[in-house]
Amino acid sequence: MKNKDSSYYVPEQSAWPILGALALLFLAFGSLNLEKKWGLIAFIIGIAGLVFMLSGWFWNVTQESNAGLYNRQMDKTFRWGMLWFLISELFLFGLLIGSIIHVRFSITSWLAGQSGDASQLTHYLLWPDFAKHWPLLPPSSFSATVASTPSLGSLRQIPLINLIILLFSALLLTGALYYLKKARYKLCRLNLNLAIFLACIFFISQTYYFIHLIHTHIITKSGIYGSFLIAFLGLHLLNIAAALLFLCILCFRIYHNQLLEKNAFSFDAAVWWWDFLAVILALAFFLIF
Protein backbone atom coordinates (compact mmCIF):
# COMPACT_ATOMS: atom_id res chain seq x y z
CA MET A 1 0.00 0.00 0.00
CA LYS A 2 1.01 3.62 -0.34
CA ASN A 3 0.91 5.90 2.66
CA LYS A 4 -1.50 8.74 1.93
CA ASP A 5 0.42 11.22 4.06
CA SER A 6 3.76 10.56 2.39
CA SER A 7 5.30 9.37 -0.84
CA TYR A 8 7.28 6.76 1.08
CA TYR A 9 6.14 3.33 -0.07
CA VAL A 10 4.97 0.92 2.64
CA PRO A 11 4.74 -2.65 1.29
CA GLU A 12 1.98 -5.09 2.14
CA GLN A 13 2.47 -7.73 4.82
CA SER A 14 4.58 -10.62 3.55
CA ALA A 15 4.94 -14.31 4.39
CA TRP A 16 8.49 -14.47 2.98
CA PRO A 17 10.28 -13.94 6.35
CA ILE A 18 8.31 -16.80 7.96
CA LEU A 19 9.01 -19.08 5.01
CA GLY A 20 12.69 -18.15 5.15
CA ALA A 21 12.86 -18.94 8.88
CA LEU A 22 11.26 -22.35 8.33
CA ALA A 23 13.64 -23.08 5.46
CA LEU A 24 16.64 -22.21 7.64
CA LEU A 25 15.27 -24.49 10.37
CA PHE A 26 15.07 -27.44 7.97
CA LEU A 27 18.50 -26.55 6.61
CA ALA A 28 20.06 -26.49 10.08
CA PHE A 29 18.59 -29.83 11.17
CA GLY A 30 19.42 -31.41 7.84
CA SER A 31 23.02 -30.23 7.80
CA LEU A 32 23.58 -31.73 11.26
CA ASN A 33 22.28 -35.12 10.13
CA LEU A 34 23.45 -35.42 6.53
CA GLU A 35 24.59 -39.00 7.05
CA LYS A 36 21.00 -40.06 7.77
CA LYS A 37 18.34 -40.35 5.09
CA TRP A 38 15.86 -38.03 6.82
CA GLY A 39 18.66 -35.52 7.39
CA LEU A 40 19.41 -35.35 3.68
CA ILE A 41 15.70 -34.91 2.92
CA ALA A 42 15.43 -32.07 5.45
CA PHE A 43 18.54 -30.45 3.99
CA ILE A 44 17.11 -30.55 0.45
CA ILE A 45 13.79 -29.14 1.68
CA GLY A 46 15.66 -26.32 3.39
CA ILE A 47 17.66 -25.47 0.27
CA ALA A 48 14.54 -25.58 -1.93
CA GLY A 49 12.66 -23.40 0.55
CA LEU A 50 15.43 -20.81 0.62
CA VAL A 51 15.64 -20.67 -3.18
CA PHE A 52 11.86 -20.29 -3.42
CA MET A 53 11.76 -17.61 -0.71
CA LEU A 54 14.63 -15.56 -2.15
CA SER A 55 13.29 -15.82 -5.71
CA GLY A 56 9.82 -14.71 -4.64
CA TRP A 57 11.10 -11.90 -2.46
CA PHE A 58 13.46 -10.57 -5.12
CA TRP A 59 10.65 -10.80 -7.66
CA ASN A 60 8.33 -8.72 -5.47
CA VAL A 61 10.99 -6.05 -4.97
CA THR A 62 11.67 -6.01 -8.72
CA GLN A 63 7.97 -5.49 -9.50
CA GLU A 64 7.73 -2.66 -6.98
CA SER A 65 10.82 -1.00 -8.44
CA ASN A 66 9.52 -1.31 -12.02
CA ALA A 67 6.21 0.20 -10.90
CA GLY A 68 8.04 3.34 -9.75
CA LEU A 69 7.07 2.92 -6.09
CA TYR A 70 10.55 3.66 -4.76
CA ASN A 71 11.97 7.13 -4.20
CA ARG A 72 15.27 8.46 -2.83
CA GLN A 73 14.18 7.80 0.73
CA MET A 74 13.50 4.15 -0.11
CA ASP A 75 16.84 3.92 -1.91
CA LYS A 76 18.55 5.22 1.23
CA THR A 77 16.64 2.67 3.31
CA PHE A 78 17.82 -0.17 1.07
CA ARG A 79 21.41 1.01 1.32
CA TRP A 80 21.30 1.17 5.10
CA GLY A 81 19.66 -2.25 5.22
CA MET A 82 22.39 -3.77 3.06
CA LEU A 83 25.07 -2.06 5.13
CA TRP A 84 23.73 -3.50 8.38
CA PHE A 85 23.40 -6.92 6.75
CA LEU A 86 27.08 -6.83 5.76
CA ILE A 87 28.03 -5.66 9.26
CA SER A 88 26.20 -8.65 10.75
CA GLU A 89 28.01 -10.90 8.26
CA LEU A 90 31.31 -9.30 9.27
CA PHE A 91 30.67 -10.09 12.93
CA LEU A 92 29.62 -13.66 12.11
CA PHE A 93 32.64 -14.52 9.98
CA GLY A 94 34.88 -12.39 12.20
CA LEU A 95 33.89 -14.55 15.17
CA LEU A 96 34.92 -17.71 13.34
CA ILE A 97 38.15 -16.24 11.96
CA GLY A 98 39.01 -14.73 15.34
CA SER A 99 38.53 -18.14 16.97
CA ILE A 100 40.82 -19.73 14.40
CA ILE A 101 43.50 -17.07 15.05
CA HIS A 102 43.23 -17.61 18.81
CA VAL A 103 43.51 -21.39 18.54
CA ARG A 104 46.28 -21.39 15.94
CA PHE A 105 48.59 -18.80 17.48
CA SER A 106 47.71 -18.85 21.19
CA ILE A 107 46.20 -22.16 22.30
CA THR A 108 48.68 -24.32 20.39
CA SER A 109 51.61 -22.42 21.93
CA TRP A 110 50.09 -22.82 25.39
CA LEU A 111 49.53 -26.58 25.03
CA ALA A 112 53.05 -26.98 23.65
CA GLY A 113 54.52 -25.22 26.70
CA GLN A 114 55.79 -22.20 24.76
CA SER A 115 53.86 -19.46 26.61
CA GLY A 116 55.63 -19.24 29.96
CA ASP A 117 55.98 -21.34 33.10
CA ALA A 118 52.26 -22.00 33.52
CA SER A 119 51.93 -23.30 29.97
CA GLN A 120 54.97 -25.53 30.48
CA LEU A 121 53.27 -27.05 33.51
CA THR A 122 50.13 -27.64 31.44
CA HIS A 123 52.19 -29.25 28.71
CA TYR A 124 54.19 -31.63 30.90
CA LEU A 125 51.34 -32.65 33.22
CA LEU A 126 48.40 -32.86 30.82
CA TRP A 127 49.65 -33.13 27.23
CA PRO A 128 53.32 -34.17 27.29
CA ASP A 129 53.13 -35.62 23.76
CA PHE A 130 51.54 -32.53 22.21
CA ALA A 131 53.51 -30.97 19.35
CA LYS A 132 52.61 -27.56 17.96
CA HIS A 133 51.44 -27.92 14.37
CA TRP A 134 48.59 -26.96 12.10
CA PRO A 135 46.00 -28.38 11.45
CA LEU A 136 45.39 -29.13 15.12
CA LEU A 137 44.65 -32.82 15.62
CA PRO A 138 42.56 -34.54 18.34
CA PRO A 139 44.40 -35.68 21.50
CA SER A 140 44.52 -39.30 20.31
CA SER A 141 46.70 -38.17 17.39
CA PHE A 142 49.22 -36.10 19.41
CA SER A 143 52.71 -36.95 18.28
CA ALA A 144 55.84 -34.96 17.62
CA THR A 145 56.20 -36.76 14.31
CA VAL A 146 52.74 -35.81 13.03
CA ALA A 147 52.69 -32.53 11.11
CA SER A 148 49.17 -32.47 9.69
CA THR A 149 46.24 -34.57 8.64
CA PRO A 150 47.57 -36.50 5.61
CA SER A 151 44.27 -36.81 3.74
CA LEU A 152 43.60 -33.10 4.20
CA GLY A 153 46.88 -31.98 2.71
CA SER A 154 46.02 -33.52 -0.66
CA LEU A 155 42.96 -31.25 -0.90
CA ARG A 156 44.62 -27.91 -0.25
CA GLN A 157 44.98 -27.17 -3.94
CA ILE A 158 41.19 -27.22 -4.39
CA PRO A 159 40.52 -24.27 -2.01
CA LEU A 160 43.35 -22.33 -3.67
CA ILE A 161 41.87 -22.84 -7.14
CA ASN A 162 38.42 -21.95 -5.82
CA LEU A 163 39.77 -18.77 -4.24
CA ILE A 164 41.37 -17.65 -7.51
CA ILE A 165 38.10 -18.30 -9.37
CA LEU A 166 36.10 -16.31 -6.83
CA LEU A 167 38.53 -13.37 -6.93
CA PHE A 168 38.36 -13.21 -10.73
CA SER A 169 34.57 -13.40 -10.54
CA ALA A 170 34.53 -10.48 -8.08
CA LEU A 171 36.82 -8.48 -10.35
CA LEU A 172 34.56 -9.06 -13.36
CA LEU A 173 31.46 -8.18 -11.35
CA THR A 174 33.03 -4.91 -10.21
CA GLY A 175 33.85 -4.19 -13.85
CA ALA A 176 30.23 -4.87 -14.82
CA LEU A 177 29.06 -2.30 -12.27
CA TYR A 178 31.56 0.24 -13.61
CA TYR A 179 30.28 -0.21 -17.17
CA LEU A 180 26.67 0.00 -15.99
CA LYS A 181 27.39 3.36 -14.34
CA LYS A 182 28.92 4.51 -17.65
CA ALA A 183 25.83 3.27 -19.56
CA ARG A 184 27.99 0.84 -21.58
CA TYR A 185 25.47 -1.97 -21.40
CA LYS A 186 27.11 -4.44 -23.78
CA LEU A 187 30.32 -4.52 -21.76
CA CYS A 188 28.26 -4.68 -18.58
CA ARG A 189 26.41 -7.78 -19.83
CA LEU A 190 29.65 -9.41 -20.97
CA ASN A 191 31.36 -8.90 -17.61
CA LEU A 192 28.26 -10.00 -15.71
CA ASN A 193 27.91 -13.18 -17.79
CA LEU A 194 31.55 -14.09 -17.23
CA ALA A 195 31.25 -13.34 -13.52
CA ILE A 196 28.20 -15.60 -13.19
CA PHE A 197 29.94 -18.34 -15.18
CA LEU A 198 32.94 -18.27 -12.84
CA ALA A 199 30.62 -18.05 -9.84
CA CYS A 200 28.83 -21.24 -10.94
CA ILE A 201 32.16 -23.03 -11.35
CA PHE A 202 33.21 -21.88 -7.89
CA PHE A 203 29.92 -22.99 -6.33
CA ILE A 204 30.08 -26.47 -7.90
CA SER A 205 33.73 -26.97 -6.98
CA GLN A 206 33.29 -25.68 -3.43
CA THR A 207 30.22 -27.87 -2.94
CA TYR A 208 32.19 -30.90 -4.12
CA TYR A 209 34.97 -30.03 -1.67
CA PHE A 210 32.51 -29.59 1.19
CA ILE A 211 30.74 -32.89 0.51
CA HIS A 212 34.08 -34.68 0.15
CA LEU A 213 35.17 -33.46 3.59
CA ILE A 214 31.98 -34.86 5.10
CA HIS A 215 31.93 -38.25 3.36
CA THR A 216 35.63 -38.99 3.90
CA HIS A 217 35.28 -38.15 7.64
CA ILE A 218 38.21 -35.73 7.37
CA ILE A 219 36.31 -33.24 9.50
CA THR A 220 35.57 -35.73 12.29
CA LYS A 221 39.22 -36.84 12.39
CA SER A 222 40.81 -33.40 12.68
CA GLY A 223 39.51 -32.21 16.05
CA ILE A 224 38.66 -28.55 16.55
CA TYR A 225 40.14 -27.78 13.12
CA GLY A 226 37.36 -29.78 11.47
CA SER A 227 34.70 -27.94 13.47
CA PHE A 228 36.04 -24.58 12.29
CA LEU A 229 36.31 -25.86 8.73
CA ILE A 230 32.75 -27.14 8.39
CA ALA A 231 31.26 -24.09 10.14
CA PHE A 232 33.11 -21.57 8.00
CA LEU A 233 32.76 -23.38 4.67
CA GLY A 234 29.09 -24.17 5.31
CA LEU A 235 28.15 -20.58 6.13
CA HIS A 236 30.24 -19.20 3.29
CA LEU A 237 28.73 -21.65 0.80
CA LEU A 238 25.22 -20.73 1.93
CA ASN A 239 26.00 -17.04 1.35
CA ILE A 240 27.48 -17.84 -2.06
CA ALA A 241 24.32 -19.70 -3.09
CA ALA A 242 22.08 -16.77 -2.10
CA ALA A 243 24.37 -14.21 -3.73
CA LEU A 244 24.58 -16.28 -6.92
CA LEU A 245 20.79 -16.33 -7.13
CA PHE A 246 20.91 -12.54 -6.68
CA LEU A 247 23.35 -12.25 -9.61
CA CYS A 248 21.13 -14.39 -11.86
CA ILE A 249 18.15 -12.14 -11.16
CA LEU A 250 20.27 -9.08 -11.94
CA CYS A 251 21.32 -10.67 -15.23
CA PHE A 252 17.66 -11.21 -16.11
CA ARG A 253 16.87 -7.56 -15.32
CA ILE A 254 19.85 -6.28 -17.32
CA TYR A 255 18.73 -8.15 -20.43
CA HIS A 256 15.19 -6.77 -20.02
CA ASN A 257 16.47 -3.18 -19.63
CA GLN A 258 15.14 -2.91 -16.07
CA LEU A 259 18.46 -1.70 -14.65
CA LEU A 260 19.90 1.63 -15.76
CA GLU A 261 22.77 3.71 -14.45
CA LYS A 262 20.35 5.83 -12.39
CA ASN A 263 18.56 2.98 -10.56
CA ALA A 264 21.31 0.44 -10.04
CA PHE A 265 21.31 0.03 -6.26
CA SER A 266 20.54 -3.69 -6.52
CA PHE A 267 23.70 -4.05 -8.61
CA ASP A 268 25.64 -2.06 -6.02
CA ALA A 269 24.37 -4.36 -3.28
CA ALA A 270 25.32 -7.48 -5.23
CA VAL A 271 28.85 -6.19 -5.81
CA TRP A 272 29.27 -5.28 -2.13
CA TRP A 273 28.12 -8.73 -1.06
CA TRP A 274 30.18 -10.66 -3.61
CA ASP A 275 33.37 -8.68 -2.97
CA PHE A 276 32.86 -9.15 0.77
CA LEU A 277 32.59 -12.93 0.37
CA ALA A 278 35.72 -12.98 -1.80
CA VAL A 279 37.77 -11.00 0.74
CA ILE A 280 36.55 -13.15 3.64
CA LEU A 281 37.50 -16.36 1.81
CA ALA A 282 40.94 -14.97 0.94
CA LEU A 283 41.58 -14.07 4.58
CA ALA A 284 40.34 -17.43 5.85
CA PHE A 285 42.39 -19.37 3.30
CA PHE A 286 45.71 -18.19 4.71
CA LEU A 287 44.57 -18.80 8.29
CA ILE A 288 42.96 -22.22 7.81
CA PHE A 289 45.44 -23.78 5.39
- The mean of the pLDDT values for the chain is 81
Q: What is the pTM of this model?
A: 0.80
* Distance, CA of 289 to CA of 286 (rounded, Å): 6
CATH architecture under which domain 75-288 falls? Up-down Bundle (1.20)
51: Cβ–Cβ under 8 A, 6 or more apart, which residues? 241, 245
How many H helices and E strands in the chain? 10, 0
DSSP state of 103: I
Fold of 1-70: Helix Hairpins (1.10.287)
Q: Identify the band that residue 83 occupies on the pLDDT scale cut at 50, 70 and 90.
A: very high
Q: Identify the band that residue 201 occupies on the pLDDT scale cut at 50, 70 and 90.
A: very high
The domain segmentation of the chain, as residue ranges, is: 1-70, 75-288
* Distance, CA of 136 to CA of 102 (rounded, Å): 12
pLDDT by residue (tens digit) across 125-143?
777 777 777 766 555 544 4
